[in-house]
Each structure stands twice: as C-alpha cells, then as structure tokens.
Structure 1
Amino acid sequence: MFTGIIETLGTVKQLSTIKDNLDITIESTITNQLKIDQSVSHNGVCLTVVEINDNQYKVTAIKETLDKTNIGDLQIDDFVNIERAMKLGDRLDGHIVQGHVDQTATCIEAKDTNGSWLYTFEYDPKLNNITIEKGSITVNGVSLTVVNSQKNSFSVAIIPYTYEHTNFKQFKIGTKINLEFDVIGKYVKRLNDLNV
C-alpha cells in the first residue's frame, strides 16, 4: 500500500523489451535504500525491484501493465514519480493508494494560475469510474484532491512544491497519465451496482 506522497523523481536510463515484457532501468537517489523483491510505485504502478546496480535499479512491467498504464510510453531520460510502500505505523499523509491503475487519462488543460497550476484530465467514462468533488484521486502516483468533477473529466490544483518534485512539470496537453480512483469510493459504487 502507498500514500500518494512522492518520495523522489527517478530517471529512466534504459528500456529493454523481452518478449511481451518491458525491463526498465531507473536511476534514483533512493536506490541504495532499496532491496530485491521490494514493491515500489512508479507513476502510480506497483512494480517489483528485480535488480540493483550502484545508483540504478531494474523493474519489469508485464503486458497487462503495459496495456493499461502509461509505463509502455516511457522514454529514456523521462522522470518517474517514485514512492516506496508504506510501513505499518507511518502517517497516512495522502490517502490509501494500492498501486493498481484503473485506467489512463489525457491531459486536456495545463494552466499556470499565477503561483499554482491547474490541470484538467479527460478519461473514458465507459469503465464506470467516478470522481467526486473534493474527493481523492491518484494521478501518476500523486495523491490529489478533485476539483470540477464531471462525467468524464476532472481538474486538480498543483502547488509549487508538488510541481517541482513530481513529473507534473513535464505534463502538457495530450500527455497520457495513470489514474487510480479512490478505493473506498470503488467499493461503495460496486455495492450500489449490486443493490446490496
């Protein structure tokens, strides 16, 4: 489990396709604190550390992950939002994040609002995922609060610290991002759909 509070930005150093899988080598300031078989969130996707060399480590994304997230779109030198799994007893500064991306969305607005930034994302409503005003949403692994919730879009406001310490600074119109909807909201919606 994660909190959506990004620890650091990693940099993609190598990409290797092996059959249907993608091996991703990442350089990070926390590499020396990682261990093999550790779960780490990358842009909101929970991936397992499989190799560590000096200040770089490797993770593998399988076809299911590549099909349903933006991990397959990574390029050399791209920034990746990184968070290690939460430890029992840690503060939950964001919200409960599983590292299981529900779907992707597209950035349709990226606006500097004189000291902060407003981003609007559009997603396919056919998957029946929902946002609520002032509810929690995870965008590329970042725990955020929804503003302007619509049927197939929503906005988030980004403070300067988040802008500088996540890959939001790379977002532009057309950027594909990962979405994980609030797990509590998903269970409530599922119960409602089942008329329980």
Structure 2
Amino acid sequence: MFTGIIEITARISSITPSSSSSGFTLTLDEAHEILVDCHVGDSICVNGACLTVTEFDMGAGWFKVGLAHETLQRTNLGQLQIDDRVNCERAMSSHTRFGGHMVQGHIDSTAKIISIIPDGNSLRFKFEFPPQTNLMPYLVEKGYITIDGASLTLVFVDDSSLTFGIMLISHSQEILTLSKKKVGESVNVEVDILGKYILGGTGRMERLIDNIVEKRMKEKGII
C-alpha cells in the first residue's frame, strides 16, 4: 500500500529484455534516498505501478525491477527510454504520515494528456480515457485520483467525453514528472480504491438480490 506522496524521481539507466518472457528488467539509479531500508522483495511504486525490487546497491544508488507482460499491457512503462525519470515511492510504513490517499499501485488504465493550460503559477491538465475503459463512475469532482503514482485532486469530470482534469501547483511541478510531459503523452491512472469497493460491492449486491428474488419466484411458480 502507498500514499501517492512521491519521494524521489529516479532515472532509468538501463532496459534489458527478459530472456525467459516478453517482459523487461529496468535498472533505476539516483535512488539513494529510498534504498536506505531496502530489501530484495520490497515493493516500490514506479510511476504508479507496484513493482518488486529484484536487486539493488544502496551505495551506488540503483535498483532493479521486472516488468511482466501484464504490467506492460496496463501501463505506460513500456514506453520508457534511457534517461527518462519516473516517480518513486516506497511502500508505506506504520508510522507514515498519511498525506495522500490509499494507493494500491495497481494501474487501472492509461489516459492521454489532451491539454495543459497555465493558471497563474499552476497548470491545469486535462486527460482522456481510451474508449474501451469504464472508469468514469469512479471519478468524483474533488475526489482523489492517482496519476503516475501521485495522489492528486480531481477538479472536473466529464462523463460524456471520458475526460477529467487536475490542477498541478508550483510545488508539485518541481517534484513530479507530470510537469515535464506534453500534450499527447500518456499517464498511468489508478482510480480511488474506495470507489471500487463501494460501486463494485453495490453491483455485486444488486446481482445477488436479483438472483435470490428470481429463485424465490421460480420456487413459488410465479415465473
């Protein structure tokens, strides 16, 4: 579990195709700060995706993670190139201040940046989901969303156009990789887990009730 509060931006230093699958191994450096308590098998959120540390060198400041086919399908991590920077956050600890929101590190979809508009010293970003996604019901204005691993607040939601927006304040622009992206580029999106549980649970409950009603009506010969 993560909070969506980015600790560092690490640099992609190498991308190595896996010899046994269609995945890759990423090596990230300039990551000293998040390796002081690292162990092989730990989880680190990289651009919003929960990945497992397979190897690291605290002194040199690098670590490696594997990207499986499922991860490449769900995220924009397959588009990364050498020297690109990514948002990184260690898994939360029991004494962490909860500054963001509950982030699983499980990417739901990518979204495309369709506009970036300056607003004072802030930037307004507008994103569009691909047509096949059905995530709009989980988005609520002033609710949470995770974009490339960062916990951000939705400032508008338009169900009809599958678009949504956030405002990036100047402080966040200095910390997050989002401020370096351009119109047309993609971001990783994880919707609020509370919405998933509430709406998903409601849907399952409705189906359960429908099945029970149908069963009782059949037993009584009504249908």
User: Normalising by structure 1, what TM-score?
Assistant: 0.95
Deviations 1:47-66 (A, max 9, x none): 01111132111100100000
Q: Is residue 8–residue 29 contact of structure 1 (8 Å, CA) maintained in 2?
A: no
Distance 1:141 1:16 in 2: 23
The one-letter code of the counterpart of 1:147 is V
Distance 1:127 1:5 in 2: 26
Q: Is residue 119–residue 157 contact of structure 1 (8 Å, CA) maintained in 2?
A: yes
Q: Is residue 31–residue 57 contact of structure 1 (8 Å, CA) maintained in 2?
A: no
The root-mean-square deviation of aligned C-alpha atoms, in Å, is 1.3
Greater gyration radius: 2
Aligned ranges 1:7-26 → 2 under 5 Å: 7-18=7-18, 19-26=21-28
Which residue of 93, 100, 117 corresponds with 2:99? Answer: 93
Distance 1:183 1:126 in 2: 20
Taking every aligned residue pair, what percent have the same amino acid on both sides? 37
Distance 1:122 1:8 in 2: 27
Structure 2: stretches of 5+ with no match in the other structure: 210-223
Distance 1:7 1:87 in 2: 14
> Larger deviation: 5-14 or 118-127?
118-127
Deviations 1:19-50 (A, max 9, x none): 31110000123254122111000000000111
Which residue of 155, 162, 181 corresponds with 2:165? Answer: 155
Alignment of 1:168 onto 2:173: no
Task: Report the number of matched residues.
Answer: 196
The one-letter code of the counterpart of 2:10 is G
Alignment of 1:29 onto 2:32: yes
Query: Cα–Cα, structure 1 residues 128 and 193, in superposed 2: closer, same or farther, change >3 Å?
Result: farther
Structure 1: stretches of 5+ with no match in the other structure: none
The one-letter code of the counterpart of 2:149 is G
The one-letter code of the counterpart of 2:14 is Q
The one-letter code of the counterpart of 1:118 is R
Moved over 3 A (4+): none
Query: Cα–Cα, structure 1 residues 59 and 119, in superposed 2: closer, same or farther, change >3 Å?
Result: same
Distance 1:149 1:125 in 2: 16
Q: Is residue 10–residue 29 contact of structure 1 (8 Å, CA) maintained in 2?
A: no
Q: Give the aligned partner of residue 144 of structure 1.
A: 152
Deviations 1:160-187 (A, max 9, x none): 1111111012211011100000000011
Aligned ranges 1:63-102 → 2 under 5 Å: 63-102=69-108
Q: Is residue 39–residue 48 contact of structure 1 (8 Å, CA) maintained in 2?
A: yes
User: Normalising by structure 2, what TM-score?
Assistant: 0.84
